[in-house]
Structure 1
Amino acid sequence: MAYDVEKIRAQYPALADGRVWLDGAAGTQVPQQVIDAVADTYRVGVSNQGGPYESSRRAGRIVDEARGAVADLVGAPDPGCVVFGPTMTALTYRFAAVLADGWRPGDEVVVTRLDHDANVRPWVQSALRAGATVRMADIDPVTGELPASNVTDLIGEHTKLVAVTAASNLLGAMPDLRAITAKAAEVGALSYVDGVHHCPHAGVRLGDLGADLYATSAYKWAGPHLAAVVAADNWTLETLHPDRLLPSPDTVPDRFEFGTNPFAPMAGVVAAVDHLAELDSEADGSRAEKLVRSRQAVVDHEEGLREQLFAGLAALDGVRRYGPERGKCTPTALFTVDGVTPAEVAERLAERGINVSRGHSYAWEAVHALGLGPEGGVRASLSHYSTAEDVHRLLEGLAELTR
């Protein structure tokens, strides 16, 4: 088998505990090569950049390699398009601050109710401070889907920015991103795409998405806790000038990265991307070429599990799943159980050795649009290392709970 999930799982020390890890949307586990890459950085020794000695040059190589790895993963045209930061939320606030500096009363910003709040609140808060108008695209209150027209109908000649998710971290719904980014480009607006839940479950090519800026978090695809915003071209970053310390670099992308880079996690990012490129054992060529085949293998593997999960949930009395019935969707299920709170469901499943998330998952607008409120629901999210047995154990646990 080119995609051998048991062989893949054997590379993840945490998975040996016998639990069912269905909380990947909140963060995946990491393979041994990522652990080793992080540890080796400290073991061998690394110094801050700019010194005339090997440990400093080593740090510079790690940064360059990390930019190159993320560029390969998302199909960016150049490693210089990759900006690193501690979290997607922190980076989005950083970009919101610099972009909003040019907004004025009469300008408009478009956000959606499908998004994680990290791709809503920074833009809303910055727009309000600038006196700009915020337009919120609604989701279907039954399916949770976001029709592209709900967004494009809000985009006009005064639109400065369109913030939209490529995949809902709560529901898995994947809107027609290309239609949305094309409309934004038509009126000269920037598109900022949240790819945090999208990148782990898709083969990403920025050119195909049409996104000007694409955000991703490494800890959602088997890497360390580090995030990146990737520009579709260097020109976009060249036109932006964030506040910075006077002695710090004014070059792109360094001007967006505050303080000393986290070299060990960056080494882990390189190892994580290398690992993802090798998930299909028959993939060959450059790392970027191997990623194309391996990412498709992941999509195919997860799609089979998603069908099993959705069918199993539909067959359980007292269980209601929220989200798309058809169309593009990540292997993520949001559901509720009659008469049992989401917190209680998660606790009961945890007692059976099954990890699932519960609550609003920071998709604040979505849980309210669906009528769930802050309590949200239960989220089971499959990953590239999930198995049919994992799905079976979840369904078995829910069946017992509903009985």
Structure 2
Amino acid sequence: MSSDTTGHTLDVQAIRSCFPALKAGTARFDAPGGTQTPQQVVDAIAGALTRPLANRGTLTEAARNAEAIVAGARLALADLLGSDADCVVFGRSATQLVHDLARTMAKSWGPGDEVVVSRLDHDSNIRPWIQAAEAVGATVRWAEFDTTTGELDTGHIEDVLSPRTRLVAVTAASNLIGTCPDMPAVARLVHRAGALLHVDAVHYASHFAVDLAALGADTLVCSPYKFLGPHLGVLTGTRELLHSLHPDKLLPSSDAVPERFELGTLPYELLAGSTAAVDFLAGLVPGSGSRRERLLRAFAALASHEDRLRARVEEGLAAMEGVTVYSRAARRTPTTLFTVAGSEPGDVSRRLAERGVDAPAGSFYAWEASHRLGLGEAGGVRVGLAPYTCDEDVDRLLDALLP
């Protein structure tokens, strides 16, 4: 059992019992690449597929089922993200949504305009913006991060802002080393410069309660499969901005927001699973109230649980000779990247797997960050926690790392 400072308790063993994949017995530290799925989510997906289902509408039971699934998923993700249901957009992945968003926003850019990206980010929050800027002749500027501390602070952003900046793209949490920049402070700088802020919350939303307005984001993306749901992408943003954007779309398709951003028929079964994932998160700790209120309590308890286990992991690694830890920021997710002197990260990961511990190695699409840290394509070994991670998992990880 793990409790936060307000006494809310996370019953980890009860949580673990909901995940069929954990019966395989492996200690799983691969959550940053995608979490395991609770039975409730599996059942919701199966339920959507086994009931009558058709294109959305009101005439038939099948059409009404589809309509209800979409409406329910928009409400659930709005509760998770502190957004509005009519501003929740679904897509195949966060990467696809950012590519589409970047191309759409670039329609109003041109030579002389500037776009800021960060070396800390996953490539899905870098390359789409670079490619969109290059296509219209806009200039890309880079915000660096401190390799000693792992921090991306407001000074790094301020250094590359100018009156010509149109958009800044920054992660709320690094998927490689866990760093969580001060997003409200970044947002104030960006908006003071007259620019828009796009936030990658794919890694952040797995560990902290998201609030679109509090973060100061104009647009934001996340992925349900990183927080116990199915493979899907979600985009949200301010109503004013979304209504001002006009993506390429088919002529007969709806021009209403959010449908104008959704290309083709939505994957109803995955939306049902995403709603179930949000509901599962909201039920991590007991209590009443709105779903948003229950989510806030759950994430507070989850942060306490994951922080305690992260400290155990990092204390254990610090006691090992030849281990270098790159996750050093003052505020970060429970995601620890490390290397072992004399061993390739892939070899370390392989040895762990042979001992029943899944901790993958690589740069994890954080290509720029890994190279800035001097780790190149090989990257490091990444240990990531989830609601189902327990003390026994940590024991097995640390024991498996010993010679």
Provide the TM-score with structure 2 as the length reference: 0.97
Alignment pair present for 1:316 and 2:320: yes
Match of 2:85 in 1: 79
Match of 1:296 in 2: 300
Equivalent in 108, 112, 124 of residue 106 of structure 1: 112
After TM superposition, give the deviation of residue 323 of structure 1 in Å.
Answer: 2.1
Match of 2:49 in 1: 42
One-letter amino acid matched to 2:40:
Q
Cα distance between partner residues in 2 of 1:296 and 1:360: 29
Matches for 1:2-401 after TM superposition, within 5 Å: 2-50=9-57, 52-76=59-83, 78-231=84-237, 233-281=238-286, 283-324=287-328, 326-400=329-403
Cα distance between partner residues in 1 of 2:347 and 2:107: 45
Give the conservation status (yes or no) of the 8 Å contact 1:163–1:192.
Answer: yes
After TM superposition, give the deviation of residue 337 of structure 1 in Å.
Answer: 0.9
Cα distance between partner residues in 2 of 1:150 and 1:316: 33
Cα distance between partner residues in 1 of 2:194 and 2:90: 26
Cα distance between partner residues in 1 of 2:72 and 2:297: 21
One-letter amino acid matched to 2:317:
L
After TM superposition, give the deviation of residue 142 of structure 1 in Å.
Answer: 2.2
One-letter amino acid matched to 2:253:
S
Report the 3-state secondary structure (helix = DSSP H, G, I; strand = E; otherwise coil) of the residue aligned with 2:128: helix
Cα RMSD (Å): 1.0
After TM superposition, give the deviation of residue 143 of structure 1 in Å.
Answer: 2.7
Paired-residue identity, %: 49
After TM superposition, give the deviation of residue 288 of structure 1 in Å.
Answer: 1.0
Cα distance between partner residues in 2 of 1:161 and 1:304: 37
Report the 3-state secondary structure (helix = DSSP H, G, I; strand = E; otherwise coil) of the residue aligned with 1:292: helix
Q: Deviations over 1:134-184 (max 9, x none)?
A: 110111122322122101221221110000000000000111111111111
After TM superposition, give the deviation of residue 188 of structure 1 in Å.
Answer: 2.1
Cα distance between partner residues in 2 of 1:99 and 1:357: 35
User: Which ranges in structure 2 are unaligned for 5 or more consecutive residues?
Assistant: 2-8
After TM superposition, give the deviation of residue 51 of structure 1 in Å.
Answer: 5.7
Report the 3-state secondary structure (helix = DSSP H, G, I; strand = E; otherwise coil) of the residue aligned with 1:134: strand
Provide the TM-score with structure 1 as the length reference: 0.97
Cα distance between partner residues in 1 of 2:61 and 2:68: 10
Cα distance between partner residues in 1 of 2:252 and 2:215: 36
Give the conservation status (yes or no) of the 8 Å contact 2:52–2:61.
Answer: no
Q: Deviations over 1:23-48 (max 9, x none)?
A: 00000001001000000111112111
One-letter amino acid matched to 1:187:
A
Q: Which moved more, 1:44-53 or 1:96-105?
A: 44-53
Give the conservation status (yes or no) of the 8 Å contact 1:145–1:323.
Answer: no
Cα distance between partner residues in 2 of 1:87 and 1:341: 31
Give the conservation status (yes or no) of the 8 Å contact 2:242–2:257.
Answer: yes
Cα distance between partner residues in 2 of 1:210 and 1:308: 33
Give the conservation status (yes or no) of the 8 Å contact 2:150–2:326.
Answer: yes
Match of 2:6 in 1: none
- Structure 1 segments, 4+ long, off by >4 Å, are none
After TM superposition, give the deviation of residue 63 of structure 1 in Å.
Answer: 0.4
Report the 3-state secondary structure (helix = DSSP H, G, I; strand = E; otherwise coil) of the residue aligned with 2:180: coil
User: Which ranges in structure 1 are unaligned for 5 or more consecutive residues?
Assistant: none
Q: Which moved more, 1:238-247 or 1:146-155?
A: 146-155
One-letter amino acid matched to 1:179:
A
Report the 3-state secondary structure (helix = DSSP H, G, I; strand = E; otherwise coil) of the residue aligned with 2:10: coil
